[in-house]
Amino acid sequence: MLTLLVTWAKAAVLEVQEYVRLQAATWRAAVTRPFYVHDVVEQFEQIGIGSLTVVVLTGFFTGAVLALQTGITLDQFGARPFVGRLVSASMVKELGPVLTGLMLAGRVGSGIAAELGSMVVTDQINALRALGTDPVRKLVVPRVLAGFFMAPVLTIIANTVGVVGGWLIAVFQLRVASSLYWSSIVEGLYFQDAWMGLIKPFCLGYVIVTIGCHVGLRARGGTQGVGRATTNAVVASSVSVIAVDFFVTRLLITLMY
């Protein structure tokens, strides 16, 4: 039992060490030449535009069900007109960034791990090195930049669509006046809330993409290894989204309030 525990601890420390080394190499490659602009633009399209549909659907139905459930609960206190304030605050501060992060973890994190893992097991990474190309600069940096900058954009879209979904339920299902819904949003949202909802996605997007790259580049064992890497990337990214969200929220609350 003790031997297994020691082995597990050594493996965990090794993974952390390799993850940190990958981040250092990524940061160094991101600020030095050469830059692969075409690859960066391609990843922006794949991660940003490619994830737009799932993010829009998730945001819309989350806002709609949030308005439906909270509207019924607020009726018990005669506070149905405040449904807009609750929906907007929940979407902007918490649900929008987290659900967008989870969708990206499922779609982007798994895709990156599968793609890079396939390149590792078929020796394409070694071929890049043999041709004098840095795999981190060519493969990791474009994906990290795309995830870092597109996650906030997708989160803003999800927040907007979620508020609109809540508005439709509030007006047509809960019979709340449209002007009252929007005025409660304006009165209920503060500048700190908007900043909190905008800072989180940067952290979540970075964590999701870097974990996907790390797990993909560490894939071993042929096609089965690629499958394991894909599963591990989704699980690790999803858990990391929840954990990072907690720590970032705690830090921002301390700094802003």
Q: Nearest 5°: phi and psi at 14?
A: -65, -40
Q: What is the 3-state secondary structure (H, E, C) of the chain?
A: CHHHHHHHHHHHHHHHHHHHHHHHHHHHHHCCCCCCHHHHHHHHHHHHHCCHHHHHHHHHHHHHHHHHHHHHHHHCCCCHHHHHHHHHHHHHHHHHHHHHHHHHHHHHHHHHHHHHHHHHHCCHHHHHHHCCCCHHHHHHHHHHHHHHHHHHHHHHHHHHHHHHHHHHHHHHCCCCCHHHHHHHHHHHCCHHHHHHHHHHHHHHHHHHHHHHHHHHHCCCCHHHHHHHHHHHHHHHHHHHHHHHHHHHHHHHHHHHC
Per-residue confidence band for 34, with pLDDT thresholds at 50, 70 and 90 = confident
Can you say how many angstroms the Cα of residue 251 is from the centroid of all Cα atoms in its chain? 18
What pLDDT score was predicted for residue 24?
Answer: 93
What would the mean pLDDT of 194-219 be, rounded to a whole number?
93
Q: Is the pLDDT of residue 257 over 90?
A: no
The pairs formed by 192-196 with CB atoms below 8 angstroms and a separation of 24 or more are 192/256, 192/257, 193/89, 193/92, 193/93, 194/92, 195/252, 195/256, 196/92, 196/93, 196/249, 196/252, 196/256
**What are the contacts of 29-38 at 24+ separation with CB within 8 A?**
29/134, 29/136, 29/137, 29/140, 29/141, 30/141, 30/144, 30/145, 34/137, 36/137, 36/138, 36/141, 36/142
**pLDDT tens for residues 40-58?**
999 999 999 999 999 999 9
The fraction of the chain above a pLDDT of 90, given in percent, is 56
- Confidence (pLDDT) at 249: 92
Quick check: 128 pLDDT over 80?
A: yes
- Give 174-197 pLDDT, tens digit per residue: 888 888 889 988 887 888 888 888
Structure tokens given for 102? 């989870």
Residue 62 predicted with pLDDT over 90: yes
Band of pLDDT at residue 133, cut at 50, 70 and 90:
confident
Distance, CA of 17 to CA of 10 (rounded, Å): 10
Distance CA 25, CA 13 (A): 18
Please tell me the predicted confidence (pLDDT) of residue 54: 94
Q: How far apart are CA 192 and CA 199, in angstroms?
A: 10
Summarised one tens digit per residue, pLDDT across range 101-120 is: 999 999 999 999 999 999 99
- Taking all residues of the chain, what is their mean pLDDT, rounded to a whole number? 90
Domain ranges of the chain: 38-256
